A and B are shown apart, each in its own frame.
Chain A
Amino acid sequence: MSGHPVVALAGVTKQFGKDGVTALQEVDLEIRPGEFISLIGPSGCGKSTLLRVVGDLIQPTSGTVEVNGKTAARARADRDYGIVFQDAVLFEWRTVAKNIGLPLELAGWSRERRRERVQEMLELVELTGFESHHPWQLSGGMQQRVSIARALSFDPALLLMDEPFGALDEMTRERLNLELLRIWQASGSTVIFVTHSISEAVFLSTRVVVMSPRPGRITGIVEIDLPQPRTGRTREEPRFAELIRDVRRTLRAGGGFEADEDVDEEQLIVAEEGL
């Protein structure tokens, strides 16, 4: 288990349309079990696309994608990963408990097993007592915790997160960062985390993968050697500031501060998936 990568990307290129935007070019990346990887880069650098290629929500134009030693399609069919978006994407006609239990329903779990697991997940994200609430009765931060509980409910080896805290205020975000680290350590899963925020990436990750736009590619990887477990104090350590500077330099070297505002990655993805 230990030597075997959870995700292995080799020469992954993604072009939208025939001679359209090259969202990803020749991306190689290996992610080991238990790692917390952040993908960081400006808008249009292809980080959301990369996440969806791993999740088999988008097919690469060329290159190979392996998840848990299988093809991405096989891994998706086996429910090897859970995904969390920037919006919680909760189903408003379902209660909190039924939202968390949705993937379990699809996997054919019995009602009794579902109920037990949902209780465990509610405990994990500290929302016990809210099972019969509807999503609109919760704050944005609580909704996102429900969304995380749903993604982890079936105990996937891999958790894909696409700017999950991007829509939250700074205080909530920092609290949820700590909570996510606790959940990550408790669940033992591997995380790929897309973010715009340098400090969030450094605080959370074991490695930060820096990407640049036009075309989207990996321009550097920064090892984050901050001690575990991380706490509110971690952000005040000198090493934290040094690592932030390293990531900034890597970003600048790759042209990462020249955001490509012409490319709306979200739109390309929606068009590609024909949704």
Chain B
Amino acid sequence: MAAATVAIHRAPAERGARVRAAVAQGALFLAVLGGLWALWEGFKWVGEATELRLGSFAVNDRTLPHVHDIVNTLFEPSRRNGPMLIEVLGDAALFTAKEAAAGFLLGAVFGFTIAVVLAHSTLLQRGFLPYIVASQTIPILAVAPMVVVWVNPKLPEGLRDWGAVSLIAAFLTFFPVAINTLRGLKSADPRALELMRSYAGSTWSVLWKVRVPASLPYLFAALKVSATASVVGAIIGELPASIQDGLGGAILNFNQYYASAPTRLWATNLVAAALGITFFLVVVATERAVVRRAPEHVA
């Protein structure tokens, strides 16, 4: 009864505090964005005024376009009488998002499964962990074309090209998930494990009721890294696969015309960054919804 009363009295105050916190966070975000804009334009202004040269790099409208020019380009036709650039890039981003999301899910499931298996056997862990680590030292740019050449012919029509790129994104995703989840599964309180033993709990229930919940903060830390890595992996995977429909294809394309239209490449980078941030935010939102922790344990 007492508890219920307390909860009722506290609710409006908490909501007010939450709104204030959200407003403050938004304001901070805009302030930092403004700061970055000022830094960019400030550097450009000083560089042009002093005719700064860093090696062969000179500051001018070609190497460092105005921020507003980059943003404006998004709303100009991508070619004569064509759709606006932002529409073209939007379609490309959706295509890359599909590859990255499939790769992210595949990599996360694979990484999680590996972690669960390794957590239950010290022998397997000793045997396989070095190779899992070694797998990440392989330069992705060198492997990507091989993966595409090997895998693509074997894929059904609906998965061709983008399916191969997903595998490359998955390759970048699974590693942080596997390593962090393994650590998280082992972070369970020894007393909690004793408790489960005293209840005659099976290995399976220990896994799902203690180890996995204990590993969630670790898992989500890894998923945040992997969310952006999967987008990078998808873009890089598109380059050697010569897939034209995604952001990787757009980057290659606008790179060729950089001398005449530098703002388009910058605009593409902007869209790619936005996609990465979107992936990250989806993970953050999922974490908020799923993970229940004491406030002091929430990063």
Write the residues of chain A forming the contact surface with B, with a CB cutoff of 8 angstroms.
52, 55, 57, 76-79, 81-83, 85, 87, 89, 91-94, 102-103, 105-107, 129-130, 133-136, 270, 273, 275
Contacts and interface: CB of A to CB of B under 8 A. Distances in A.
Nearest to B196: A106
Contacts of B4: 129
A89 B1 contact: no
Contact of B199 (A79, A91, A133, A273): A79
A31 B209 CA distance: 33
Nearest to B290: A93
Nearest to A78: B200
B197 A93 contact: no
A93 B293 contact: yes
B192 A92 contact: no
A82 B194 CA distance: 11
Nearest to B213: A93
A44 B216 CA distance: 36
B191 A130 contact: no
B198 A83 contact: yes
Contact of A55 (B198, B201, B296): B198
Interface in B271-299: 291-297
Given A129-B4, A135-B294, A91 B213 contact: yes
Contacts of B32: none
Interface string B177-204: 0000000000001111111111111000
Contacts of B189: 89
A133 to B, nearest CB: 7
A134 B210 CA distance: 16
B66 to A, nearest CB: 50
B19 interface: no
B200 A79 contact: yes
B201 A106 contact: yes
Contacts of B194: 52, 57, 83, 85, 273, 275
Contacts of B72: none
